[in-house]
Amino acid sequence: MAHQKAQGRLVSWDFGDFAVAAAQNGRLMAMAFGDGSIRLFDSETPDAAPTVVSAHKGACLALAADIEKGGFLSGGDDGKFLKIAAVGTVETLWEGKGKWVEHVTAHDGAGVRVFSVGKVATILNKKGEMRELTHASTVGGLAINLKGKRLAVSHYNGVSLWWLASAAAASVLEWRGSHLQPLWSADGDYLITAMQESALHGWRLSDGEHMRMTGYPSKVRNIAFTRRGHHLATTGSDSVICWPFSGSGPMGKAPVEFGTVGEGIFVSYVAANPKLDIVAAGYEDGSVLVGQPGSANTIGIIDASGSPISCMAWNPDGDRLLIGNEAGAVHFADFRG
């Protein structure tokens, strides 16, 4: 398939370490690496070298935007849950010797930061109070709904839904198997998980109705809702599989797809644009393109490099895209004017 060539500029670096995760918090964007560093990028000046923050002693495992403007949260295999301020200063919010902080998230409206270590997810409020939520098995992922009311914690055999502001016990959405990344639909009506076994599972929260999304030839590494939640874009196949969630909801509808770079070359990361109904897709061969669910037209952003794309993030205006791969090659694509 022929791709259109992207308009705009591409700034590239080679940092040499596994790019673990990318995030944005307003003008500032961040990428976390396997050497424990976090780099802060100013999206207004994509050409400028990023600020390097020595964050973790081992590898960074997780990254998210903090509740404070321009700040980020990170978890590492040194057992630390860190707050990285916009100016690059590091504050340790929690530390557990011999532990791994595997997942982090936050919600500015609710004023909470959340991290997980093994089976325990901990909610940290602005006053510094901690609330530990223990699960029957290791936490596979964390997600707070858009309104900032509920926390979804995925694990083996289901997802626990907690109220951020109430001490009530979790309600558990059950489904056999190991649940990894959880994701809320924009309206909060559905919760979806990517599973260990090359499938997605979803629940309609109003009635607990199950959705099974299968047919993937490979493990689904990440999933993302397009702007306004019309489509759920997913990795795990050699094109971006997009499940429709608009209108009457997703039940019983077939997915649409876009973006193939070669047979058997799987999509390894998807990032939905915040302003347009488009999705950036990264592939196992290192290439990246941008496309639209169900459309044959795609725009090539970077060519194959051999190393899988491991993380991407759009800026809030949706006109700059930060891309990282497993070998530490980082690209900043600037689509402005």
Identify the burial level of 174 via C-beta atoms within 10 angstroms of its C-beta, where 0-12 means exposed, 13-18 middle and 19 or more buried.
exposed
Q: Which of 88, 111, 177, 318 binds other proteins (CB under 8 A)?
A: 177
| C-alpha distances in Å from residue 29, one per residue of 66, 71, 221, 247, 284 | 11, 9, 22, 33, 23
Ranges within 186-205 binding other proteins (CB under 8 A): 196-197
| C-alpha distances in Å from residue 86, one per residue of 1, 25, 183 | 42, 9, 27
96 lies in the binding site for other proteins (CB under 8 A): no
238 lies in the binding site for other proteins (CB under 8 A): no
Contact stretch for other proteins (CB under 8 A) within 17-25, 145-153, 226-234, 237-245: 17-25
The footprint of other proteins on this chain (CB under 8 A) covers a number of residues equal to: 33
77 lies in the binding site for other proteins (CB under 8 A): yes
Q: Which of 178, 188, 274, 317 binds other proteins (CB under 8 A)?
A: 178
One DSSP character per residue, 57-68 reads SS-EEEEEE-SS
Q: What is the smallest separation between the CB atom of 59 and other proteins, expressed in angstroms? A: 4
Residue in the block written with tokens 């936050």:
106
Q: How far apart are CA 202 and CA 179, in angstroms?
A: 11
133 lies in the binding site for other proteins (CB under 8 A): no
59 lies in the binding site for other proteins (CB under 8 A): yes
C-alpha triplet 300, 302, 304: angle, nearest 5°: 110
Q: How many CB atoms lie within 10 A of CB 328?
A: 19
Identify the burial level of 244 via C-beta atoms within 10 angstroms of its C-beta, where 0-12 means exposed, 13-18 middle and 19 or more buried.
middle
Reduced to 3 states (helix: H, G, I; strand: E, B; else coil), residue 109 is coil
Q: What is the smallest separation between the CB atom of 234 and other proteins, expressed in angstroms? A: 15
118 lies in the binding site for other proteins (CB under 8 A): yes
Asked if 237 and 219 count as a contact pair (C-beta separation under 8 A), the reply is no
51 lies in the binding site for other proteins (CB under 8 A): no
216 residue type, one letter = Y
Q: What is the smallest separation between the CB atom of 119 and other proteins, expressed in angstroms? A: 8
Q: Which of 10, 137, 244, 316 binds other proteins (CB under 8 A)?
A: 137
245 or 283: CB nearest other proteins:
283
Q: Which of 22, 23, 29, 61 binds other proteins (CB under 8 A)?
A: 61
319 lies in the binding site for other proteins (CB under 8 A): no
Q: By the criterion CB under 8 A, which residues form the site for other proteins? A: 17-18, 20, 33-36, 57-61, 77-78, 98, 100, 102, 118, 137-138, 156, 176-178, 196-197, 218-219, 265, 284-285, 306-307
